[in-house]
Amino acid sequence: MFNEIHEECGVFGIYEEKTADVALSTYFGLYALQHRGQESCGIAVNDDGVFSHRRADGLVSDVFSREEIGHLGKGNSAVGHVRYSTFGGKNPNNIQPLVIRHVKGNLALVHNGNLINAAELRREFELSGAIFHGTSDTEAIAYAIVRERLKCHSTEEAVERAMPEIKGAYSCIIMTAQKLIAFRDPDGFRPLCIGKTSDGAYVTASESCALETVGAEFIRDVEAGEIVVFSGGEIKSIRTHVKKKKSICIFEYIYFARPDSVIEGISVHGARVRAGRILADCCPVDADIVIGVPDSGLDAALGYAEKSGIPYGIGFIKNKYIGRSFIQPQQNQRESAVKIKLNAVRESVAGKRVIMIDDSIVRGTTSARIIRLLREAGAKEVHVRISSPPFIHSCYFGTDIGSEENLIASRCGSESEIAEAIGADSLAYLPADKLCNLIDSDDFCRGCFSGKYPVDVSGASRKNKFDEKIHA
């Protein structure tokens, strides 16, 4: 959790046949997804076509008091969103849900992912008279759907017609006066699943852990390219854009998702344990203790210890009252946050040869500080093992891992050079050809490791594409 990786958001939606406390259910769902975004959040509620919403910077518990939930009132459906932003983070118009009022009705939209043609779409809409209020890709998705909605008979048909226009990663939920619609890009970069409560409410969310939080039983994942419509107490599936091969982001299993979630039938905890076992097989080292960097390094550390026979121990204690270090957009703020969030357990590491398992190294600055904590606590040796291959390319689909010149694996090249740069005695990454063993499948995106992306990214827009325009 102390790396400099950012995943943009988590989405949640609930559909009831009767009037219910959908705002409260969404609040609980967003709480379960808080790890996916900690800068801002929002909830929109539909009560027989009347929309109410609240959006603000801050954690779910800070933004939504009991009184705020009460002000949203009861309703038939609701959507919610938690967000991490890179550029334009303080623009309140970027906070979701986006609530759109058009000639054929209202809709509220939440989105997880990143489009590669958002700048082109935006320019096309602006030239036709559209006015954009924020700098997020989500507005471009909303405009594309509304434009089609004005020409067809239903919102789901509008989504079906708009999907070929919006390219990249998107797991979205739309709320209208009568329906809740969940849809996922044809490559399935970001997860989205469906559940049902005992009283008949349908729930859709980024991760299965959010379903469990509101007492919903997991039904299935939304398939890549599928549109799922919840209306009249039934589910309708539109499969026009469904493909056989999907390309889910492998980092959902390595880092982003909660370990108790199940994505595409694969336990996140199990995938991480397998990563640790593979590391122990491929990258052994003599040591006295195996520790993990909280939180996403812990499961892999357990797997490494089980396979190697080296004892597993608690090497770090984190301050659970502070959010993830990556919630601060500026590097110097993230560095300060690490200092008060993580402490080495001296009794565990003093005088010992330590194997430290982490999920990734991006720039290397945070890893260097964590290793220094272990040295200061008396560790005799620190051997770093990473449960993913090295980042050497940018991501265009919703993970902000920085440009290539800022990635330490691109700058330094060899593992020994990176080890020296971060102050480790040795360093080894999960071999790229072993990634498929984590989920027993080859259907995933590995572009940030290999530079080979599932879709053409040659014309992809930069992360700060709109902010540069605004602030020029």
User: In the prediction, which pLDDT does 5 show?
Assistant: 56
What band does 470 get if pLDDT is binned at 50, 70 and 90? very low
pLDDT at residue 324 is higher than 60: no
Q: Where in the chain is the domain with CATH 3.60.20.10?
A: 6-247
Nearest-10 Cα torsion for 120, 122, 125, 128: -80
169 pLDDT higher than 90: yes
pLDDT computed for residue 462 by the predictor: 54
Q: What pLDDT sits at residue 1?
A: 35
- The number of residues making up the chain comes to 472
Q: How confident is residue 183, by pLDDT bands cut at 50, 70 and 90?
A: very high
From-to residues of CATH 3.40.50.2020 in the chain: 263-450
Q: Is the pLDDT of residue 301 over 60?
A: yes
Q: Which of 30-34, 134-138, 158-162, 456-460 has the lowest mean pLDDT?
A: 456-460
Mean of all residue pLDDT scores within the chain? 90
- Residue 32 has a pLDDT of 97
Tell me the residue ranges of DSSP E strands in 48-192: 50-57, 75-83, 98-102, 105-112, 171-175, 180-184
Q: How confident is the model at residue 7 (pLDDT cuts 50, 70, 90)?
A: low
Strands of the sheet with 40-47, listed across from one edge: 50-57, 40-47, 75-83, 9-20, 202-205, 193-197, 216-221
Give pLDDT, residue 131: 86
The reported pLDDT for the residue numbered 85 is 64
pLDDT of residue 452: 92
Mean pLDDT of 164-175: 97
pLDDT tens for each residue of 96-114: 999 999 999 999 999 999 9
User: For residue 10, what are the CA distances in angstroms to 32, 111, 198, 206, 355?
Assistant: 10, 8, 24, 6, 32
Q: Give, in order, the Cα–Cα distances in Å from 418 to each of 195, 365, 411, 425.
A: 44, 11, 9, 10
Q: Is the dihedral of CA 12, 163, 177, 179 positive or negative?
A: negative
CA separation, residue 113 to residues 138, 220, 345, 433 (Å): 9, 20, 37, 26
Is 238's pLDDT higher than 80?
yes
| pLDDT of 24 strictly over 90 | yes
pLDDT in tens, 370-419: 999 999 999 999 999 999 999 988 888 987 666 777 788 888 879 999 99
Which CATH number does 6-247 carry?
Answer: 3.60.20.10
391: three-class secondary structure by DSSP:
coil
- pTM for this model (two decimals): 0.91
Domain 263-450 annotated CATH 3.40.50.2020: yes
Residue 87 clears pLDDT 80, i.e. is over it:
no
Which pLDDT score is estimated for 123?
Answer: 93
Mean pLDDT on 23-49:
96
Residue 471 has pLDDT above 80, yes or no: no
Catalytic residue among 9, 172, 193, 283: 9
Note the pLDDT tens digit of each residue in 249-288.
999 999 999 999 999 999 999 999 999 999 999 999 999 9
User: How many helical (H) and strand (E) elements, i.e. helices and strands, does the chain have?
Assistant: 18, 25
The H-or-E segment that residue 386 falls in is strand 381-386
Q: What pLDDT does 8 receive?
A: 64
Give residue 334's pLDDT. Answer: 53
Q: Is 9 a catalytic residue?
A: yes
Query: In angstroms, what CA-CA distances link 245 with 187, 251, 442?
Result: 7, 18, 9
CA distance 252 to 234: 30
Q: What is the pLDDT of residue 402?
A: 63
Place of tokens 């983070």: 89
Q: Which of 62, 65, 60, 145 is nearest to 98 (CA)?
A: 145
Q: What is the mean pLDDT of residues 325-342?
A: 57
What percent of the chain is modeled with pLDDT above 70? Answer: 90
